Amino acid sequence: MSKAGASLATCYGPVSADVIAKAENIRLLILDVDGVLSDGLIYMGNNGEELKAFNVRDGYGIRCALTSDIEVAIITGRKANW
């Protein structure tokens, strides 16, 4: 079993060999931020800065992808104020 297959089995319990074989072909994971990695809400900080909340499970999934040699890109349609 490849590193990707091992990660799938570890992260999500039993996974069929067919699903693992298909997942081994994944090389790039592109995710939107708003409503996908966040709850879609914007929180305001004490100094007026915009804050977002993220689920640690999403972070773990991204870590599993990266340790399985899958590149990860995170995109957003919102304008960054940096």
What are the tens digits of pLDDT across the range 18-63? Answer: 888 888 899 999 998 877 888 888 899 999 998 888 888 888 889 9
Q: Which fold has domain 3-75?
A: Rossmann fold (3.40.50)
Residues paired with 44 in a beta bridge: 50
- The answer to pTM > 0.85 is no
> H-helix or E-strand containing 10?
helix 3-12
**Residue 34, SS3 per DSSP:** coil
Tell me how far apart the alpha carbons of residues 68 and 36 are, in angstroms, rounded to a whole number: 21
Band of residue 81 on the pLDDT scale cut at 50, 70, 90: low
Query: By the 8 A CB rule, do 30 and 24 touch?
Result: no
- pLDDT-derived band of residue 71, with 50, 70 and 90 as boundaries? very high
